[in-house]
Structure formats: structure tokens, C-alpha cells
Amino acid sequence: MAIVAPSILSANFAYLLQEVQEVYSYGAQYLHIDVMDGHFVPNITLGPTVFKHLRPHIPMVFDVHLMITNPQKYIKDFVQAGADVITFHFEAVSNIKEVIELIKSYNIKAGLSIKPHTDVRVLEPYLGDLDLILVMSVEPGFGGQKFMPIALDKIRYLKTRQQEFRYLIEVDGGINQETGKMCVEAGADILVAGNYIFTAKSRKEAVESLLRL
Ligand code: DX5
Ligand code: ZN
């Protein structure tokens, strides 16, 4: 069974707590929190001050996806706001190992993400250090984009390497029932979905359709 991680990027922020409680009630276990700085990606979203207020009300795994430059500067703030997993981008930093160690020093989980055109083999030196690997299946920056099948081979590759390690494989961007199925078959453990869930006529059916994959 896949883990479903609704992305709050597609939620209505005027009703954020209700929106999140709703998807939690349908069985979503992770909450995917997209942080963008207008620099690493051409869009700005939210920081820790927004989701720290959700923390006391929501028992989900807070899965923070940092699409920012200099993530190391902000790790502590995200930990204090209640992050359970912090994922940063391979393309954003040069001292990958140091940032992983910094995240783990707070006793939370560390993830690393690659953009669609980054070769999956760049992750090799870090596989043993990571709790999660996030494969982007769209260019990071916006919700509601079309799934890029280039992600599937990377998921397959990471699945073959997973036996030796203990990381979870997460996929993010353009996930719906059909693309989600392809990703689960390729080996994905966690499906991030924004638009598919939050714009669905029945959010319950949307979450359940991914949980069943
Ligand atoms: C894109 C974000 C995604 C996005 C997914 O940069 O990282 O998490 O919210 O949204 P959908 O599922 O609509 O593609
Ligand atoms: Zn994301």
C-alpha cells in the first residue's frame, strides 16, 4: 500500500486546518509542505510560521520539501516548527553531506531531491545516509503540471539499490491515479499529490484511489 502525501500547495489557505484535517481523515499519513523562495524556483510559497500552527492539531508526518537556496540556514526554524522530514535539493547546495548531517543532528529524517533532468546516479554517495529520496516528476515550482515519465527509470533504479539501504522513495509532481500506479509499479513508496486531491470532486475518493495502488 502506498503512502499518500497531499501537497498543501493546492489547498485553500483560508481554511488550511480544515483542509488538512479532511485529507487526514481519509487516510493520508504524510503532509507534504512545499517551501519555495522565489530564487531556487520562480515561485514563493510559505515558511515555518505558517505550518507551526498546524502542528498541535495534526498528527501526520510533516514532510517538508525545501525548494530554496541555502537550506542549511533555515533547517533549525523548520525543525522548531515541527518538521518530521526535511528534504532539500541536490541542485541547491555543494556540501550535501553536511546538510544531511545537520538535519539528522535534530533527530529528524533527512531527504534529498533531484529535479527531472538531474541524473539519478549523482545520489550514489549519499544513499546510505538518507531516510528519503524525492524524485521530482515535474520541474519544481508549481502545482498542477503534467507528469514527466523520465521519473520512472529513476524510481526503478532507486528500488534496485534500496535493498542495501533503508530510504523511502517519494515521487512528486503530476500524480493522479494513472501516473501514481506507474510510480508504485516502478517502486515508489510515497505519492505526493496536490491538484489531484484538492481539486477533486470527491477528495475522499481521490485519496483512497492512491492508497489502493
Ligand atoms: C512542485 C511541488 C509539488 C506540487 C505537486 O514544485 O514540489 O509538491 O505541489 O502538485 P501536483 O500534484 O498538483 O503536481
Ligand atoms: Zn513538493
Site to substitute for ligand 1 among 192, 203, 207, 209, most atoms within 8 A of C-beta = 192
The pLDDT of residue 122: 98
1 confidence band (pLDDT: 50, 70, 90) = confident
Residue with cell string 521530482: 136
d(CA 179, CA 166): 24
Residue with cell string 510560521: 49
Question: Taking 90 as the threshold, does the pLDDT of residue 213 lie above it?
Answer: yes
115 confidence band (pLDDT: 50, 70, 90) = very high
Instruction: Please write the tens of the pLDDT for every residue from 181-208.
Output: 999 999 999 999 999 999 999 999 999 9
d(CA 94, CA 87): 15
Residue 183: in which H helix or E strand, if any?
A: helix 177-186
The pLDDT of residue 91: 98
Q: Which domain does 148 fall in, by range?
A: 3-211
pTM given for the model: 0.98
Site to substitute for ligand 1 among 10, 136, 138, most atoms within 8 A of C-beta = 138
Mean pLDDT (the chain) is: 98
Instruction: Please write the tens of the pLDDT for every residue from 16-35.
Output: 999 999 999 999 999 999 99
Kindly report the CATH number assigned to the domain that includes residue 150. 3.20.20.70
Q: Which of 63, 131, 172, 189 is catalytic?
A: 172
**Residue 159: Cβ within 10 Å count:** 14
Q: What is the mean pLDDT of residues 95-104?
A: 98
Give the total number of structural domains in the chain. 1
**Annotated catalytic residue 172:** yes
Instruction: Please write the tens of the pLDDT for every residue from 55-83.
Output: 999 999 999 999 999 999 999 999 999 99
What is residue 132's three-state secondary structure? strand
Residue with cell string 516548527: 81
Q: What is the mean pLDDT of residues 26-53?
A: 97
Q: How many residues does the chain have?
A: 213
d(CA 73, CA 175): 31
